[in-house]
Structures are given as structure tokens and as C-alpha cells.
Amino acid sequence: MEFGNLDTKEFFFGFSDVQTDLAILEGAIAHGTGTTFTLTASDICGFWLSSELTDDEAWHAIHNGGTTTGVTDSTALALGVDAVAAERDLLRLEIDTNGTARWFLNGVLKKTLAGAVSTTVNLCCSLIVEEKVTGNAACTVEYLDIKSNRDWTR
């Protein structure tokens, strides 16, 4: 994942129960401002970056919908790694069938959380970048691989 700049952007990569091609971050999945997240989607698990957060260059691990209550304090969700304009970050998210999630940044495990998401709700993979002012926000994605062993036939 690479951004030309980090100004006026909101970014999400992960899974949620929001399944629409028109999903914008603010309101559809979640929104971050200051040090607070508003978790809109009932089931979320992924990486978040927002120029509207106080720690506006930090990668955050958001979650909601599992047996562990979703956290809304962005300082508790920061992964200790800042995005840098024109530099690549490798994002990897693993979700087990029991709802446990693991967030990896640049090959390093940054967080493990049991019960991060529901084990019974169908989740949709999303990679969304939103411009918060005017113009078009963009990011470069070199590779995306999604594997699943969840039973989607029930």
C-alpha cells in the first residue's frame, strides 16, 4: 500500500458486513475524528488511516461485532507504525473461523485479538480510499490476495 501523500484522506482495508460498491468510509463502515472512532458497520475488522484523526499518519486496527466490544478510542487502536508518503507498507489481516484476528504490518505481527468479529455474519472484503476535501484520493496496491475457508453456504 502506498500513498502519494497522506493529506485529506481516509482509508480502510479489511472486512465488514457493508456490501456495496458505493461504500464511502464516513458513515458506511466507520469514521474517525480527533481521537474517536464511530463504528457504523455492525461487523468490522481491518486497517484504518485517516487525516482527520489526531494521530493522522498512524495505522489503526479497528474491529466490531465479535465477542470483544469494538473500541472507539483511536489511541488504543494505533499499531505503532506510521504511514509515510511515497513509501510502501505491507498490510496483512488474518481472521480465524473463531473470530480471532491478527494484524500484520510489514511482516510484523502488531496485534492479535480474540473475538474481533462475528463467526456467523457474512463479511465483504473492501479496500477503500476516500478524499475528504476535493479531487480524487488514490493509493497504489501492488498485490491483493484473499483466501477463505469459511462456509458461505449456510
Q: Is residue 151 part of a domain?
A: no
Query: CB–CB of 105/91 below 8 Å?
Result: yes
Number of domains present in the structure of the chain:
1
pTM of the model: 0.89
CA distance 105 to 1: 11
For the chain, 154 residues long, give each residue's pLDDT as a single digit of tens: 787 878 888 889 999 988 765 555 556 788 889 999 989 889 999 999 999 999 999 999 999 999 989 999 999 999 999 999 899 999 999 999 899 999 999 999 999 999 999 999 988 888 888 877 776 777 778 877 877 776 655 5
pLDDT at 84: 92
- Which amino acid is it at 74? S
> Does a structural domain hold residue 123?
yes
Structural domain span for residue 99 = 9-131
Look at residue 150 and tell me if it is in a domain: no
- pLDDT of 53: 93
In a domain, residue 139? The reply is: no
Inside any domain, residue 70: yes
Whether residue 136 lies inside any domain: the answer is no
Given this model, what pLDDT does residue 82 score? 94
